[in-house]
């Protein structure tokens, strides 16, 4: 590391070979007999130029226009019926445009690496040091540059399956790609911030839906997180009492539900609490309810549905927090409690002064993560209620819909892609502000190296 | 409950210490028993339904009762039956549970290997190697994690379609494991707790960084690797949103999650509900067994990421 810094600090005039490397990539490497590296650089440059000529420039132009030719019928001489001519596909134009931008960015990075390599060679040359062979370079990737080796594949995966799609969808939020502008029949265009305007203030029904659902999303995330958190801690405390026997059994029963695939338990719960479901049946059999008409509407009454999903979420989540806080409880040094007992503290005091602070301290990052996770808890709501009961005041949404499930409905049912993306970005802004404020203040972020 | 429990301990000073303790203990047991019943009932119900003879979505009682039906000229009466499982494995047009099960197993195994490697590699790099763009990368990862996951679903679909592999199992593997490098936070927490002196000692002995990683750190990280692998393996069994979206109408590549969800569609639920329960049992049992065996690691993984110092 240090050696590298020294090299870059020496200021020397770029040699001819280095200057030529600005235009012909890999020239300096070839001049210094680093053939593999030089040919590699050159091949990348040639490939890039061919790509840009073959379609890259066109892709960039298309990205700006998003297509100009609509699908239309054309009268062709010699044919009686007009012939359908397919127009431009805005969606593919956008996708390839974004892809081209990424490729250009990648090329710029390779180009810079090429210049850096050329300058380094020049310095080595001047100092009379041997030029590293191809094998030496490879060895470097197992040691000093090991992070590049390890990260190469994961980062490629992230770029292809997270970054590219994400950029694409962010772009969609600034177009009018909705149910009236479906490809390949129609074109869609850039509309700037119009979607955000409509969502927040412009369109009355839309903004009513948005703020209504946002409020419920926040309430849901808050209750879903904290009910689980504290209930889990309490259960763990009870199980971990010294005198309680069969600890493994109690824990095992709860853990059973973690092991059960979540979507199965959720679908089962849906059948369990439905109007004709087991719970209502059992209540009727026991004589608590008269008949099916008086069934408790666990999922079809707006308020009750909200309570039910929070309770079911506790069923799902408590085992997780129980497991986690059990682990933490076992790690709290016993002498803390002994010392407290000597000082005359009772159990309640010990809980609030020793146990709780310790748990909260160690689980803050987890808590923030869970809160964000709950804002985006798609599975639970979608599988349990499907967002229902439907709310007529909302735009394609129900009373228990979270922003994410609404997003999904707009995508899969309505094909209002631009609106869905707009919601996605708004969700992002909400979660990002929240976690930036909280996460950066946690100890584990600030004192990352403290424990190493 | 616990509040009662605590007041029972502290509230009544007149009682003798031993009596207080006993009350608290009894209260704890009562609480735990009630809790266990609540947690076991839904699971028990699925299992009972899987073996139930009476058809339909809803039985009028919690425990199945004797049911009589006529098949050919013979009259049968039974409470429990294995027919649901037999039915489930009888392939029919557009629904082949055995195939779905195998598909899911393949996808889960492959993506488990890939995404465990991705996550462990990324988190190791972030935790122990220092380089220029490290903080930047971590912040970008944090930011990207905040976009709702399937916002990009449509884009992923078109990307896969443009290279012609949508509606294949490979597409699912790529989708499940592609972005897993971003999920490094828990795992990084674990690596952070391993003393750096270990690395330094090895480097003094002449090991390079790759050797440190493969020969020293990895063998020490069994709990977190198992935790990552378990999570990655369980993912494909449970996700049906992506699977559904990518697979469309290609029945040959359906996973169990799609199959099970489809059985609960309104027009099928009456005929297929018991088979749904049977299928659920068959999906849940292997995962439960796996989970119970590896529970120790899972707990260490969950807490290892959170506990520091």
Q: What is the DSSP string of B73-134?
A: TEEEEESB-SHHHHHHTS-BTTB-HHHHHHHHHHHHHHHHHHHHHHHHHHHHHHHH---TTH
For B300, the closest chain A residue by CA position comes to A327
pLDDT score of A314 more than 90? yes
The verdict on A230 touching B (C-beta cutoff 8 Å) is no
How do residues A159-207 score in pLDDT, each as one tens digit? Answer: 888 888 889 889 989 998 888 888 777 888 899 888 898 888 888 888 8
Is the CB of B299 less than 8 angstroms away from the CB of A326?
yes
The verdict on B28 touching A (C-beta cutoff 8 Å) is yes
Of A243, A351, A428, the CB nearest to B25: A243
Domains of chain A: 2-192 (no CATH), 195-446 (1.10.3720.10)
Q: Which tokens go with A91? A: 């969606």
Tell whether omega for the bond before A184 is within 30 degrees of 0, i.e. cis: yes
Contact B36, B25 (CB under 8 A): no
Query: What is the distance between the alpha carbons of residues B234 and A75, in angstroms, rounded to a whole number?
Result: 57
Burial of A11 (0-12, 13-18, 19+ CB in 10 A): exposed
Burial of A205 (0-12, 13-18, 19+ CB in 10 A): exposed
- All residues of chain A having their beta carbon less than 8 Å from the beta carbon of residue B145 are 372
**Pair type for strands B74-78 and A72-74:** unpaired
**B216 DSSP assignment:** I
Which A residues 299-328 touch B at CB under 8 Å?
315, 319-320, 323-324, 326-328
Query: What is the distance between the alpha carbons of residues A247 and A236, in angstroms, rounded to a whole number?
Result: 10
* Model ipTM value: 0.78
Averaged pLDDT, A256-264: 81
Q: Which tokens go with B291? A: 């989970």
Is the CB of B237 less than 8 angstroms away from the CB of A261?
yes
Averaged pLDDT, A314-340: 84
Q: B281: part of which helix (H) or strand (E)?
A: helix B269-293
According to the model, what pLDDT value does residue A111 have?
92
How do residues B29-40 score in pLDDT, each as one tens digit? Answer: 999 999 999 999
The verdict on A157 touching B (C-beta cutoff 8 Å) is yes
pLDDT band of A379, cuts 50, 70, 90: confident
Query: What is the distance between the alpha carbons of residues A409 and A402, in angstroms, rounded to a whole number?
Result: 11
How do residues A203-241 score in pLDDT, each as one tens digit? Answer: 888 889 999 999 999 999 999 999 999 899 889 888 888
Residues 6+ apart with CB under 8 A from B151: A166, A169, A407, A420, A421, A424
Q: Give the range among A1-15, A269-283, A306-320, B112-126 with minimum mean pLDDT.
A: A1-15
Contact A311, A299 (CB under 8 A): no
Only one residue has tokens 């609480």, namely B31
pLDDT score of A104 more than 60? yes
Q: Looking at the complex, report in whole angstroms how far the Cα of residue B152 sits from the nearest Cα belonging to chain A.
A: 5
Query: What is the distance between the alpha carbons of residues B305 and B199, in angstroms, rounded to a whole number?
Result: 20
pLDDT band of A305, cuts 50, 70, 90: very high
Contact B298, B230 (CB under 8 A): yes
According to the model, what pLDDT value does residue B303 have?
61
Contact A7, A117 (CB under 8 A): no
Residues 6+ apart with CB under 8 A from B19: none
Only one residue has tokens 């028993």, namely B33
The verdict on A369 touching B (C-beta cutoff 8 Å) is yes
- All residues of chain A having their beta carbon less than 8 Å from the beta carbon of residue B132 are none
According to the model, what pLDDT value does residue A1 have?
39
Contact A144, A166 (CB under 8 A): no
Contact A384, A399 (CB under 8 A): no
Query: What is the distance between the alpha carbons of residues A409 and A387, in angstroms, rounded to a whole number?
Result: 9
Residue B183's DSSP bridge partners are: none
Contact A315, B38 (CB under 8 A): yes
Q: Give a three-class secondary structure readout of chain A.
A: CHHHHHHHHCCCCCCHHHHHHHHCCCHHHHHCCCHHHHHHHHHHHHHHHHHHHHHHHHHHHHHHHCCCCCCEEECCCCCCCCEEECCCCHHHHHHHHHHHHHHHHHHHHHHHHHHHHHHHHHHHHHHCCCCCCHHHHHHHCCCCCHHHHHHHHHHHHHHHHHHHHHHHHHHHCCECCCCCCCCCCCCCCECCCHHHHHHHHHCHHHHHHHHHHHHHHHHHHHHHHHHHHHHHHHHHHHHCCCCCCCHHHHHHHHHHHHHCCHHHHHHHHHHHHCCCCHHHHHHHHCCCCCCHHHCCCCCCCHHHHHHHHHHHHHHHHHHHHHHHHHHHHHHCCHHHHHHHHHCCCCHHHHHHHHHHHHHHHHHHHHHHHHHHHHHCCHHHHHHHCCCCCECCCCCCCECCCCHHHHHHHHHHHHCCHHHHHHHHHHHHHHHHHHHHHHHCCCHHHHCCCCCC
pLDDT score of A310 more than 90? yes
Is the CB of B125 less than 8 angstroms away from the CB of A255?
no
- What does pLDDT average to over chain A? 84
Query: What is the distance between the alpha carbons of residues A427 and A435, in angstroms, rounded to a whole number?
Result: 12
pLDDT cut 90: percent of chain A above it:
17
Residue stretches of chain B with pLDDT short of 50 = 1-3, 6-9, 11-12, 305-309
Of A92, A253, A331, the CB nearest to B36: A253
pLDDT cut 70: percent of chain A above it:
94
Residues in chain B: 309
Query: What is the distance between the alpha carbons of residues A328 and A324, in angstroms, rounded to a whole number?
Result: 7
According to the model, what pLDDT value does residue A315 have?
92
Query: What is the distance between the alpha carbons of residues A173 and A186, in angstroms, rounded to a whole number?
Result: 17
pLDDT score of A273 more than 70? yes
Residue B277: count of CB within 10 angstroms of its CB: 26
The verdict on A385 touching B (C-beta cutoff 8 Å) is no
Of A250, A282, A407, the CB nearest to B148: A407
According to the model, what pLDDT value does residue B113 have?
94
Task: Pick from B4, B40, B42, B45 the residue to mutate for testing the A interface (most A CBs within 10 Å).
Answer: B42
Q: Rounded to a whole number, what is the distance in angstroms from the first to the last CA of chain B?
A: 33
- All residues of chain B having their beta carbon less than 8 Å from the beta carbon of residue A169 are 151-152, 154-155
- All residues of chain A having their beta carbon less than 8 Å from the beta carbon of residue B215 are none
Backbone φ and ψ for A404, nearest 5 degrees, come out as: -65, -40
Query: What is the distance between the alpha carbons of residues A228 and A231, in angstroms, rounded to a whole number?
Result: 5
pLDDT band of A364, cuts 50, 70, 90: confident
Among A241, A335, A421, which Cα is nearest to B22's?
A: A241
Contact A254, B39 (CB under 8 A): yes
pLDDT band of A2, cuts 50, 70, 90: very low
How do residues A415-447 score in pLDDT, each as one tens digit? Answer: 888 888 999 899 888 888 887 787 677 655 555
The verdict on A256 touching B (C-beta cutoff 8 Å) is yes
- All residues of chain A having their beta carbon less than 8 Å from the beta carbon of residue B197 are none
According to the model, what pLDDT value does residue B309 have?
35
- All residues of chain B having their beta carbon less than 8 Å from the beta carbon of residue A408 are 150, 241
Which B residues 35-74 touch A at CB under 8 Å?
35-36, 38-40, 42-43, 45-46, 57-62
The verdict on A277 touching B (C-beta cutoff 8 Å) is yes
Task: Pick from B29, B147, B242 the residue to mutate for testing the A interface (most A CBs within 10 Å).
Answer: B147
According to the model, what pLDDT value does residue A443 have?
59
According to the model, what pLDDT value does residue A306 have?
92
Contact A407, A427 (CB under 8 A): yes
């Amino acid at each position: 590391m240090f050696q590298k810094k020294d090299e870059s600090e020496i200021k020397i005039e770029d040699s001819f070979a280095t200057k030529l490397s600005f235009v012909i990539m890999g020239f300096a490497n070839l001049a210094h007999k680093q053939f593999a590296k030089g040919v590699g650089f050159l091949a990348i440059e040639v490939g890039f130029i061919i790509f840009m000529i073959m379609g890259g420039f066109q892709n960039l132009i298309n990205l700006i226009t998003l297509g100009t030719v609509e699908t239309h019928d054309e009268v062709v001489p010699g044919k009686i019926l007009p012939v359908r001519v397919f127009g431009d596909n805005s969606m593919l134009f956008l996708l390839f445009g974004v892809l081209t931008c990424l490729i250009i960015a990648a090329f710029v990075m390779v180009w810079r690496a090429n210049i850096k390599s050329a300058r380094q060679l020049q310095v080595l040359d001047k100092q009379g040091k041997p030029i590293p062979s191809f094998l030496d370079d490879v060895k470097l990737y197992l040691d000093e540059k090991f992070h590049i080796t390890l990260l190469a594949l994961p980062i490629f995966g992230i770029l292809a399956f997270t970054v590219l799609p994400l950029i694409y969808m962010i772009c969609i939020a600034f177009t009018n790609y909705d149910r009236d502008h479906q490809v390949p029949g129609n074109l869609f265009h850039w509309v700037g911030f119009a979607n955000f305007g409509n969502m927040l203030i412009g369109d009355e029904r839309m903004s009513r839906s948005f703020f209504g659902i946002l409020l419920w999303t926040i309430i849901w995330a808050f209750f879903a997180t904290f009910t689980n958190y504290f209930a889990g801690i309490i259960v763990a405390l009870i199980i971990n009492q010294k005198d309680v026997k069969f600890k493994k059994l109690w824990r095992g029963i709860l853990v059973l539900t973690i092991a059960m695939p979540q979507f199965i338990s959720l679908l089962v719960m849906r059948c369990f609490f439905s109007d004709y479901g087991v719970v209502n049946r059992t209540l009727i059999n026991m004589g608590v309810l008269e008949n099916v008409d008086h069934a408790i509407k666990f999922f079809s009454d707006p308020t009750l549905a909200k309570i039910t999903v929070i309770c079911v979420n506790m069923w799902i989540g408590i085992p997780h927090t129980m497991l986690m806080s059990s682990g933490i409880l076992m790690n709290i040094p016993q002498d803390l409690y002994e010392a407290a007992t000597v000082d005359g503290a009772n159990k309640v005091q010990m809980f609030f002064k020793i146990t709780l602070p310790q748990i909260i301290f160690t689980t803050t990052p987890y808590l923030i993560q869970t809160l964000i996770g709950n804002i985006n808890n798609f599975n639970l709501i979608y599988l349990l209620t499907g967002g229902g009961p439907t709310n007529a005041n909302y735009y394609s949404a129900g009373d228990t819909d979270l922003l994410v499930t609404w997003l999904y409905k707009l995508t899969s049912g309505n094909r209002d892609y631009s609106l869905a993306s707009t919601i996605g970005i708004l969700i992002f802004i909400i979660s990002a502000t929240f976690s930036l404020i909280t996460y950066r203040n946690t100890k584990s972020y600030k004192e990352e190296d403290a424990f190493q | 409950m616990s509040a009662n429990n605590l007041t029972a301990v502290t509230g009544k000073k007149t009682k003798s210490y031993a009596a207080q303790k006993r009350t608290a203990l009894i209260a704890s047991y009562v609480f735990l028993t009630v809790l266990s019943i609540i947690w076991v009932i839904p699971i028990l119900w699925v299992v009972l339904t899987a073996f139930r003879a009476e058809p339909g979505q809803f039985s009028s009682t919690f425990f199945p009762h004797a049911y009589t039906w006529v098949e050919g000229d013979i009259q049968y009466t039974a409470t429990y039956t294995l027919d649901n499982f037999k039915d489930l494995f009888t392939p029919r047009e557009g629904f082949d549970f055995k195939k779905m099960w195998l598909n899911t197993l393949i996808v889960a195994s492959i993506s488990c290997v890939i995404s465990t490697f991705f996550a462990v590699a990324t988190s190791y790099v972030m935790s122990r190697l220092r380089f220029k763009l490290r903080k930047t990368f971590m912040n970008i990862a944090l930011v990207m994690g905040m976009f709702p996951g399937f916002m990009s679903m449509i884009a992923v679909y078109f990307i896969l379609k443009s290279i012609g592999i949508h509606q294949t199992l490979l597409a699912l593997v790529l989708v499940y494991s592609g972005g897993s490098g971003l999920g490094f936070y828990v795992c990084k927490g674990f690596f952070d707790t391993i003393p750096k002196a270990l690395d330094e000692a090895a480097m003094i002995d002449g090991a390079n960084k790759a050797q440190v990683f493969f020969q020293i750190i990895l063998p020490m990280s069994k709990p977190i690797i198992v935790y990552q692998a378990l999570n990655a393996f369980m993912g494909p069994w449970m996700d049906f949103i992506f699977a559904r979206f990518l697979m469309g109408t290609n029945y040959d590549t359906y996973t169990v999650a799609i199959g099970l969800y489809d059985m609960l569609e309104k027009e099928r639920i009456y005929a297929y509900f018991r088979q749904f329960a049977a299928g659920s049992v068959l999906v849940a049992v292997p995962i439960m067994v796996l989970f119970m065996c590896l529970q120790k690691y899972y707990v260490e993984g969950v807490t290892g990421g959170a506990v520091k110092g």
